[in-house]
C-alpha cells in the first residue's frame, strides 16, 4: 500500500521524531502549518492503512510508525524496478546513472558501494 504525498510528508516527521503527540507533529511542520483536523484526518487514514499506531495517555495519543522508512522506500523502489524497468536492476541502474546528472565523484562513490557489496557477497 502507498501513502499519498501529504501522508508521506507527515510520515517523514513521524520517522524523524520516532514517537509524537499531535502537538509535536504540528510543531514539525513549517509555516503555514496545517489545521489540527487535517493532521488528525491524515493520521486516521495512515492508521487504517497500518502505517501508524498510537498509545493513549489519558485524552492524548502518542503516535508511532509501524513501518520503517527503510522498509517503505525499499518496497517502492522494488515496485519501481518491477513496473518500469522490467524487473531489471541493471536497467534501473543504467537509467539512474545516465539520467541523474551525477558528478564523476558521485559515480565513483557509487562504484565503491557496488564493489563493496560484491566483496561482501563473495565472502
pLDDT tens, position by position, 19-48 = 999 999 999 999 999 999 999 999 999 999
Q: What are the helix (H) ranges across 19-103?
A: 22-28, 36-48, 69-84, 89-99
Query: 26 or 107, which is more confident?
Result: 26
65 forms bridges with which residues in the sheet? Answer: 52
| Reported pTM | 0.76
Instruction: Give me the mean pLDDT over the 42-67 stretch.
Output: 97
Which of 31, 25, 32, 33 is CA-nearest to residue 65?
Answer: 25
Instruction: Give me the mean pLDDT over the 61-71 stretch.
Output: 96
Sheet containing strand 60-65, edge to edge, reads 20-21, 60-65, 52-57
Identify whether the C-beta of residue 18 lies closer than 8 Å to the C-beta of residue 64: yes
* pLDDT confidence bin for 110, thresholds 50/70/90: confident
Amino acid at each position: 500500500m502507498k501513502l499519498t504525498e501529504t501522508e508521506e510528508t507527515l510520515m517523514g516527521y513521524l520517522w524523524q521524531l520516532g514517537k509524537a503527540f499531535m502537538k509535536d507533529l504540528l510543531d514539525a511542520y513549517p509555516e503555514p502549518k496545517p489545521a489540527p483536523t487535517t493532521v488528525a484526518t491524515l493520521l486516521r487514514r495512515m492508521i487504517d492503512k497500518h502505517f501508524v499506531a498510537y498509545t493513549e495517555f489519558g485524552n492524548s495519543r502518542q503516535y508511532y510508525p509501524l513501518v520503517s522508512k527503510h522498509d517503505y522506500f525499499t518496497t517502492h523502489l522494488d515496485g519501481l524496478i518491477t513496473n518500469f524497468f522490467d524487473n531489471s536492476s541493471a536497467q534501473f541502474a543504467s537509467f539512474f546513472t545516465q539520467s541523474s546528472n551525477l558528478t564523476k565523484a558521485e559515480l565513483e562513490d557509487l562504484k565503491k558501494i557496488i564493489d563493496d557489496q560484491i566483496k561482501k557477497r563473495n565472502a
